[in-house]
Homo-oligomer: A and B are copies of this chain.
Amino acid sequence: MIPERTIGRLSLYRRILDQVLDQGRTYIFSHELAKLSGNKPAQVRRDLNVVKCPGCASKGYDVQEMIRCIDSTLDGPDKQRIALVGVGNLGRAVLHYFLGRRKKLEFAAAFDRDHDKVNRVIHGCRVYHIDELNDVIRKENIRLGVITVPVSEAGHIADLLVHGGVRGILNFTPAPLRIPPGVYVENIDITSAIEKVVYFTDLGNREKEKE
């Protein structure tokens, strides 16, 4: 059972290593990957040990081997089919960005309740009416969902997804989803990210005790 933080870093390493490989490098040292990813060398080595990627004291780590090790940990055996719910500004940005970007991820269906959006193909993804959600995700065998509806709708949408058989959700809404055990939820809260920046940036200005 690998901790969440580690998975996040492995995901980042992989994208960096794809680039490193494109540049023709075949080996890399932990301190180099550390610099490229914004971490400490010891952290990088630990993370690589976790995915059983062996290094060589003189040459460092074999880049292709690293990618293979990370792949075998992060990727499922098959291509992951994902449903996106809420084809608004953020939803469309996500669909557009991931279109053809990562081989193992496919946005197989999107849902909205706005009739101007349904029955169209947006950024390579067919948009269905929300009422069809259950049928479509079952028929398409979709196990993952992304929620980009307004916060007031999120709880209800999460219930629909879970009822349809979805077992992992990326939730862009600040609503805490009440889901049964066995379903995994990852939250991205853009508002709180901005508020963190405000707080930690202002430390100099305001009276903030160090300790």
Contact = CB atoms under 8 A, between A and B. Distances in A.
14 contacts: A1-B211, A2-B199, A8-B189, A11-B192, A73-B199, A82-B194, A89-B89, A89-B93, A93-B93, A94-B190, A97-B190, A105-B198, A168-B200, A184-B201
Contact of A36 (B1, B8, B176, B192): B176
Given A176-B38, A189-B8, A192-B12, A198 B1 contact: no
A180 interface: no
Contact of A205 (B76, B170, B195, B203): B76
Q: Give the 5 A-B CB pairs with smallest separation, nearest first.
A: A168-B201, A38-B176, A89-B93, A11-B192, A11-B195
Interface of A: 1-2, 4, 7-8, 11-12, 15-16, 36-38, 73-77, 80, 82, 88-90, 92-94, 96-98, 102, 104-105, 143-144, 146, 167-170, 174, 176-177, 182, 184, 186, 188-206, 208-211
A138 to B, nearest CB: 17
A198 B168 contact: yes
Nearest to A70: B195
A197 B169 contact: yes
B200 A76 contact: no
A89 B205 CA distance: 33
The listed residue with most B CB atoms (<10 A of its CB), out of A4, A98, A168, A197, is A197
A4 to B, nearest CB: 6
